[in-house]
Chains A and B, each alone.
Chain A
Amino acid sequence: MGSEPKRRVILHPKTALARRHDRARAFGGHVRGYTVDTDDVLGLVRSQRRLSVRLLLLVLIPVAMLPLLFRFVPSSRTVRVVGSLPLPWLVLGPVVLFAIVLIAAIHERRASAIEDRWADRRSSQ
């Protein structure tokens, strides 16, 4: 027997990914095997930030209008809608809550797409 078989550490793929990630800090100018170009990274940060802020405003602006609606259109406080439920209970309850879930789902898809496009461009260079 010439050379001894090399020792190998066997990890669950998820654990391996997590460990590799933690170790990323140790490589001087590299993060996750990518040589850091500050402007390039900040470009990615900017597009994510733009997406997040836009989606937040999409929720916040209509929601912030509601107290004003109740304040200046008194009939909106008591009007009954589906199943004789008063409008405020419907809007401040299920309607707004589920709309927020929808926005989060859109964000999860868009944010991942931004990351994928960014990573694709790096690996094709």
Chain B
Amino acid sequence: MIPTLAVLFVVVMTVALGTAGTRYARTTSNFFVASRAVNPLWNAFAVCGEAMSAASYLGVPALILVFGVDMLWTLIGWTIGFLLLSLFIAAPVRRFGSYTIPEFIEGRLDGPELRPLVAAAVIVSSWFFLLAQLKGAGVVTRELIGVPYWVGVVAVGVLVAANLSAGGMRGITLVQGFQFFFIFLGILVPFMVLGSQWLSGDVPSLITPDPPSFLSSTEVDYPNIVEVEVFESTSVIIRGEVDGQLIDGALELVSGSHVIEAGTEIVWPAGAAVPFEQGLDRLTGTQWAAPLGEKSLGGGHPLYFSYAFLLANMFGIIALPHIVVRFYTNPTGRAARRTNLWVLAMIAPYYAMLPLLGGAGRLFAPEVLGTGNTDSATVVLGQRIADGLSGELVSAVVSAGAAAAFLSTASGLLIAMAGALSHDVLGAGVPQFRLAVWVASGVSIAAGIIVESVDINVLIGWSTAIAASSIGPLLVLSIWWTGFTRRGAIATVLIGGLTTTAAVLTTLAGLVDSGWPLAILATPAAWSVPLAFAIGITVSILDPNKVSDLGHKFALMHLPERVAVAAPES
């Protein structure tokens, strides 16, 4: 009851603050960039609200729970990605002074044909990212109030679109800032509870030579049909359908493969070995806690996987349109850089807390390994780490944080998509922006319902890979290299975007399933980012048509604002 109320509170706050922004939301500048007057610290809260998404809140603890320490490369990659934003992107992009990434690229390279192309890359990558947030919404609402998955997807899609079309960027900046506090609290509270339990020695060791088992008798809901491997014959109580038989009562589940139908409930006894979904590595505690070793990561090449993941996540962050677009709301380039430093200072401790949740999930919520629904780990864990009223409260804080995580990120993504769609395709203006918001949201809701069985971080991986190998090189080369040309940019977006999309579709179609081909296709950014850079540089060098007026354009991107204050206004 209390967790549901907490989620409702976050939703009501979101609507109230979003509509409070309507008062100001009149002009185009207000709608797209909040009149470029957002305070650096508050903007950092908003960026954190966006960056702390369902991918980190739900996805990372789940990944760590399943695969162990190697998944920390995700967090390092993202953090270095934010460092790259400070080093190479934030200030120059803001100083150039456009409304969207496609507009910036067009202005910098004098290529009107680049604008729809870059807009397409922005829309596709944001779309995959948005699907991941909607999936988070579906999972969390199902876990909390037991409604079907699609209810959460539709509710969040409509809510966020309504909020955005009312208040635009100005309204959403306020909303995301508040949501950040809920997200941070949602991780901090369980971290502190678990940390104190761990320090007082109440928690059994995780690093044991055995695979995971149930600590206590556990009732598990299976929301989807799933094929599991049971490793030892176990006496369970079943209500539902297993292996095509309707069962209501006790049963000896023999070791081997079983198909559990959607809607089944099974009570597993304490001490029983946790069944695994088919295809997941059954790691012992020792294997789980040590990097590399015998794992199926990266098609059985965990060393390659470490580097590929680092690279993909690093470049993924700098190219996320919803993050980059937030720097446009800062008054100056220097303020944009300061915002990003604040972001790093808040996001590093947040990331540093997530591994403990993943480890605790393996102890207290190991059943997610066998439900085909690892993304619910954070929320289930929130319900398990304490008893009685304090348990309800912890669960409430965790659920509210999860709701804030996908709501704020979904808002940011919808802004980036609607911005690209309206400003760069339909023509800038508030009515076009509103139309674009509803179109983008509608399409995403429909697709969000379809991706129920796809892991959140698989969706995020595709999104970041596409963005990393198209928009990433484009931004870096535009800002720092005078030799970059229009044709070089077109080649970069096309080759980078298309090769990654092809890799994603091949993996999705299940055409490869092991070894090096899987390693190369499942983490495409490791080769597609360097490839996109190489193509962009080669084509630019060969291109006889250089960009004109370079001094002026580089001055716009790199000159500090102080020159304007020191020199007389002309």
Q: Which residues of A contact B (CB under 8 A)?
A: 12, 14-15, 17-18, 20-22, 24-25, 27, 29-34, 36-39, 41-42, 44-45, 48-49, 52, 55-56, 59-60, 63-64, 66-67, 70-71, 77-78, 86, 88-89, 92-94, 96-98, 100-101, 103-105, 107-108, 111-112, 115-116, 118-119, 122-123
Q: How far is the CA of A101 from the CA of B82 in the complex (A)?
A: 9
Most buried by A among B79, B352, B559: B559
Q: How far is the CA of A100 from the CA of B83 in the complex (A)?
A: 7
Q: What is the minimal beta-carbon distance from B233 to any residue of chain A, in angstroms?
A: 33
Partner of B351, one of A21, A25, A97: A97
Q: Are A97 and B76 neighbours in the complex by a CB distance under 8 Å? A: yes
Q: Which residues of B contact A (CB under 8 A)?
A: 35-37, 69, 72-73, 75-76, 79-80, 82-84, 86-88, 91, 95, 97, 207, 286, 289-293, 303, 306-307, 310, 331-332, 334, 337-338, 340-341, 344-345, 348-349, 351-352, 355, 480, 482, 550-552, 554-556, 558-564, 566-570
Pairs across A and B, CB under 8 Å, 19 listed: A21-B564, A24-B97, A31-B552, A31-B555, A33-B563, A33-B569, A34-B567, A45-B558, A52-B87, A56-B83, A60-B80, A64-B310, A89-B72, A92-B73, A93-B72, A93-B355, A101-B348, A108-B337, A123-B563
- Take A14-B331, A77-B292 as given contacts and tell me if A116 and B79 are in contact as well, using a CB distance cutoff of 8 Å: no
Q: Are B566 and A100 neighbours in the complex by a CB distance under 8 Å? A: no
Specify which chain B residues have a CB less than 8 angstroms from the CB of A24 in the assembled complex.
97, 556, 564
Minimum-distance CB pairs A-B, first 8: A38-B551, A33-B567, A32-B564, A18-B36, A115-B560, A92-B72, A52-B87, A77-B290
Specify which chain A residues have a CB less than 8 angstroms from the CB of B341 in the assembled complex.
104-105, 108
Q: Are B566 and A119 neighbours in the complex by a CB distance under 8 Å? A: yes
Partner of A15, one of B37, B69, B569: B37
Q: Are B554 and A42 neighbours in the complex by a CB distance under 8 Å? A: yes
Q: What is the minimal beta-carbon distance from B260 to any residue of chain A, in angstroms?
A: 33
Partner of A31, one of B37, B292, B556, B562: B556
Q: Are A63 and B76 neighbours in the complex by a CB distance under 8 Å? A: yes
Q: How far is the CA of A94 from the CA of B72 in the complex (A)?
A: 10
Q: What is the minimal beta-carbon distance from B563 to any residue of chain A, in angstroms?
A: 5
Specify which chain B residues have a CB less than 8 angstroms from the CB of A66 in the assembled complex.
306
Specify which chain A residues have a CB less than 8 angstroms from the CB of B480 in the assembled complex.
45, 49
Q: Are B69 and A34 neighbours in the complex by a CB distance under 8 Å? A: no
